[in-house]
């Protein structure tokens, strides 16, 4: 199989009977089991099989393999340390950029790989397996680079896009305000025109990477308060402009990327930094969220998958009442249930990106990824933590994963809002007004 990565090649057993025999002999607890190395090779081969599906061609699987190696070698070692220190590793960001892992869907003119949105998906998934917070770099870059490249003036956005792809700049997106996030079209941040500048006054809150971002896509009101979605303008705002101040919250999870408020006091932003048309920020620019919702699904399911892999290995080794605890259906069946659902949810996310890459409608699918993925991932990691007994409750990988994935049940829109989007797509906006 020329071109395939080693993990994939290892999975190509001559026929299924031989493959099963190989698994039987090497599985932990079986006669002939020779310890961790054999189990690891079994897992690697299994993962190779798992990654092959109709959405991912050889190039994408090879990209995912590369991203997995980088994530294991470079991202995973600092997972807990970054949570403790609450800082994103800028040097690591640059390494990701140098590897081509940031916004690979962008055209080569901006430093991207021109590989499509599925490429962004497989990378997000692999980086998130090692550290969900770190994969925010990929998520924010892909979401915002799409907005910038479609709606920005080339002379303004190109230097930023080049830096984002290289991992030399971090971009945030600011929609939520203290008065609420779900009713996003009702936002109030004041944006007034003054010659060739806009003047911004107000607060954005609960913004990921608020105090670490170099530049932010900000949505504000240029129309009357009653203009709703039709009076919102999007602007690209460098965070070093006079009048911008920022705060940092003490978050439950995702602590390396963090969240906070951004305050604007008479901040002058050149009109050239507008994204899309005046008053059209919401209707034009918001469409980018269908992309991030599918990516978020893959991120959190990546975390769920790695938690399941570790837990399957653990329950096969850990003994109680003279048997591996996996022998008890109370232990293994919940894991089997969740394993099934993670497989299905992952395919849904890939399907959404596959539709996007073909320019086909995918808003309902993206909303499905966004409500199901984070809820499922939380339940999966919770079950995995319990399967580890008291050890799972210690500060460690599993409890950090649980804290990390919870954030995405809120960030980028709650399950209720996602289900409203699905309902509207199916029944029509008139039938589902709010």
Ligand X SMILES: Cc1cc2nc3c(=O)[nH]c(=O)nc-3n(C[C@H](O)[C@H](O)[C@H](O)COP(=O)(O)OP(=O)(O)OC[C@H]3O[C@@H](n4cnc5c(N)ncnc54)[C@H](O)[C@@H]3O)c2cc1C
Which residues contact ligand X by CB under 6 A? 172-176, 180-182, 206-208, 254, 259, 407, 410-414, 416-417, 434
CA distance 221 to 209: 22
Give the 3-state secondary structure of 20-73. HHHHHHHCCCCCCCCCHHHHHHHHHHHHHHHHCECCECHHHHHHHHHHHHHHHH
Task: Locate 363 and state its tokens.
Answer: 């808003």
Looking at the Cβ atoms of 311 and 363, the one nearer to ligand X is 363
CA distance 139 to 132: 10
Tell the smallest beta-carbon distance from residue 220 to ligand X (Å).
12
Looking at the Cβ atoms of 51 and 204, the one nearer to ligand X is 204
- Alpha-carbon separation of residue 429 from 26, 420, 425 (angstroms): 55, 10, 7
CA distance 347 to 33: 32
Residue nearest to ligand X (CB): 181
Tell the smallest beta-carbon distance from residue 372 to ligand X (Å).
15
Task: Locate 193 and state its tokens.
Answer: 């025109």
Tell the smallest beta-carbon distance from residue 129 to ligand X (Å).
19
Tell the smallest beta-carbon distance from residue 47 to ligand X (Å).
28
Looking at the Cβ atoms of 93 and 175, the one nearer to ligand X is 175
Task: Locate 92 and state its tokens.
Answer: 């690591």
Looking at the Cβ atoms of 135 and 176, the one nearer to ligand X is 176
Residue 429 three-state SS: coil
Task: Locate 288 and state its tokens.
Answer: 């980018």
How deeply is 118 buried, as exposed, middle or buried, from its count of CB atoms within 10 A (0-12, 13-18, 19+)? buried
Task: Identify whether the C-beta of residue 98 lies closer than 8 Å to the C-beta of residue 269.
Answer: no
Looking at the Cβ atoms of 88 and 175, the one nearer to ligand X is 175
Tell the smallest beta-carbon distance from residue 9 to ligand X (Å).
39
- Note the Cα 99 to chain centre separation in Å: 18
Tell the smallest beta-carbon distance from residue 205 to ligand X (Å).
8
Task: Identify whether the C-beta of residue 181 lies closer than 8 Å to the C-beta of residue 206.
Answer: yes
Looking at the Cβ atoms of 175 and 377, the one nearer to ligand X is 175
Looking at the Cβ atoms of 128 and 335, the one nearer to ligand X is 128
Tell the smallest beta-carbon distance from residue 241 to ligand X (Å).
19
């Amino acid at each position: 199989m020329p071109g395939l990565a080693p993990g994939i090649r290892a999975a190509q057993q001559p026929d299924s009977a031989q493959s099963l025999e190989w698994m039987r002999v090497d599985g932990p607890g079986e006669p002939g089991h020779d310890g961790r190395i054999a189990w690891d090779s079994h897992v690697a081969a299994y993962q190779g099989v798992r990654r092959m599906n109709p959405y991912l061609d050889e190039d994408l699987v090879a990209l995912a393999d590369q991203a997995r190696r980088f994530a294991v070698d470079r991202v995973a070692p600092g997972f807990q340390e970054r949570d403790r220190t609450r800082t994103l590793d800028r040097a690591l960001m640059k390494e990701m950029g140098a590897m081509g892992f940031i916004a690979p869907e962008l055209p080569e003119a901006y430093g991207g790989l021109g590989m499509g949105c599925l490429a962004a998906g497989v990378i997000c998934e692999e980086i998130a397996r090692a550290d969900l917070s770190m994969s925010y770099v990929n998520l924010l870059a892909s979401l915002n680079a799409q907005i910038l490249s479609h709606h920005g003036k080339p002379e303004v956005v190109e230097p930023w896009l080049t830096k984002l792809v290289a991992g030399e700049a971090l971009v945030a997106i600011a929609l939520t305000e203290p008065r609420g996030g779900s009713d996003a079209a009702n936002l109030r941040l004041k944006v007034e025109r003054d010659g060739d500048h806009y003047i911004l006054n107000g607060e954005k809150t609960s913004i990921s990477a608020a105090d670490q971002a170099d530049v932010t896509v900000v949505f504000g009101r240029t129309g009357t308060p009653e203009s709703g979605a039709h009076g919102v303008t999007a602007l690209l705002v460098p965070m070093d402009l006079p009048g911008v101040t920022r705060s940092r919250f003490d978050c439950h999870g995702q602590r390396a990327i963090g969240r906070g408020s951004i305050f604007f006091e008479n901040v002058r932003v050149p009109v050239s930094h507008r994204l899309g048309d005046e008053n059209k920020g919401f209707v034009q620019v918001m469409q980018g969220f269908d992309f991030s919702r599918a990516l978020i699904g893959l991120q959190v399911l990546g975390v769920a998958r790695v938690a399941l892999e570790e837990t399957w290995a653990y329950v096969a080794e850990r003994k109680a009442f003279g048997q591996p605890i996996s022998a008890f259906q109370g232990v293994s069946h919940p894991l089997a249930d969740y394993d099934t659902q993670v497989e299905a949810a992952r395919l849904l996310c890939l399907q959404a990106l596959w539709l996007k890459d073909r320019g086909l409608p995918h808003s309902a699918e993206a909303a499905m990824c966004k409500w199901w993925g984070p809820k499922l991932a939380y339940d999966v990691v919770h079950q995995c933590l319990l399967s580890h007994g008291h050890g799972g409750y210690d500060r460690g990988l599993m409890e950090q994963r649980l804290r990390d994935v919870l954030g995405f049940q809120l960030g980028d829109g709650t399950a209720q809002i996602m289900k409203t989007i699905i309902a509207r797509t199916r029944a029509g906006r008139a039938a589902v007004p709010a």
